[in-house]
Copies of this chain bind each other. A is one copy, B any other.
């Protein structure tokens, strides 16, 4: 079953379901994205340590990456991005890009100034300069970046926020979503709405109804994995994800571990992004198919001539030993970050692809 999305050129094809889990294809003007999909995070115009060629090469074969509006807005700034003709050209990445709205970073990274119903004033975490983001400004930045999927500007309360804080944030997020829905966007740019509501199921479902009524191209769950208990995250996923519109892609923002992804896919999620594979790689944590994560500086790896993961098809595992990677890590060599990032991103890609294959093999044709 193939569903046209509101934005011309975009459609979502549902191939199979297994319980709430779905396997499909998000068709975009810049290429097809097999779902479920993990999107590597390219914060500042680069997936850290990686070239576009490496991201595109199988077995990693990333079909879409994420760019951060907040970071790119501050540096290199919109004059450069505009002259460069958008983020694809600037970073020489020809496949789809999803940009977040900047909201999450304003609330987590920046020195927050006033927040009101119109928008947010904040100071840059780079140089302290004062800036303002509103739904219209966020959409305009994303228009200039030229991402294939833009996200609504939302307010994401912390995991321990009280009910009153949530209610204010929800009302604002809905009002801002309405403004984002009508703001100009780039040709061929889809827009996703974001459902907030913390870990209260009824609040989540109520907000879901408000946001889905606005008819976005896709829907995201925001405000999860922001400090709440994992059991609460999983409960919300179980109770909310499958209730999001079946004919639209569903995106869980900023999550998570390989287990989180598996749980969320079972709950009905199609798209993911997270800095975990890239950041963990740089910090010495490498994922393996069998057994726990490898902490590469551990003495056990000192003379270990085997790969990080003998079942991994990535160039790092096919070429290099744990002993070599440990040496590069301890010597603070740039090559370490490259090899480790390539491995962890390939691990995530293979992990999600294996789940997708299982849905296609064991599920019902949709």
Residues in A lying within 8 Å of B, measured CB to CB: 44-46, 48-53, 71, 75-76, 79-80, 83-84, 90-92, 302-303, 305, 315, 319-321, 323-324, 326-328, 330-331, 333-335, 337-339
Contacts and interface: CB of A to CB of B under 8 A. Distances in A.
A152 B49 CA distance: 37
Contact of A51 (B84, B331, B338): B338
A57 to B, nearest CB: 11
Contacts of A319: 52, 92
Contact of A80 (B50, B76, B323): B323
Q: How many copies of this chain are found per oligomer?
A: 2
A327 B339 CA distance: 23
B83 A328 contact: no
Given A84-B321, A334-B337, A46 B92 contact: no
Contacts of A334: 48-49, 334, 337-338
A30 B197 CA distance: 64
Contacts of A320: 92
A68 to B, nearest CB: 11
Nearest to A90: B324
A212 B14 CA distance: 76
B323 A48 contact: no
Given A53-B315, A75-B327, 17 more contacts: A44-B327, A44-B333, A45-B327, A45-B333, A46-B328, A49-B334, A49-B335, A52-B319, A71-B331, A76-B302, A76-B330, A83-B305, A83-B323, A84-B323, A91-B324, A92-B319, A334-B334
18 contacts: A44-B327, A44-B333, A45-B324, A45-B327, A45-B328, A45-B333, A49-B334, A49-B338, A75-B331, A76-B302, A76-B330, A83-B305, A84-B321, A84-B324, A90-B321, A90-B323, A334-B334, A334-B338
Nearest to A335: B46
Please list the 5 inter-chain residue pairs (A to B) with the smallest Cβ-Cβ separation, ordered nearest first. A49-B334, A76-B327, A46-B335, A83-B303, A44-B331
A252 to B, nearest CB: 27
Contacts of A83: 303, 305, 323
A49 to B, nearest CB: 4
A46 B333 contact: yes
Contact of A338 (B323, B327, B338): B338
A75 B324 contact: no
A345 to B, nearest CB: 14
Contacts of A324: 45, 84, 90-92
A22 to B, nearest CB: 34
A52 B335 CA distance: 10
A319 B328 CA distance: 28
Contacts of A44: 327-328, 331, 333
Contacts of A305: 83-84
A80 B302 contact: yes
A138 B46 CA distance: 42
Contacts of A303: 79-80, 83-84
Nearest to A76: B327
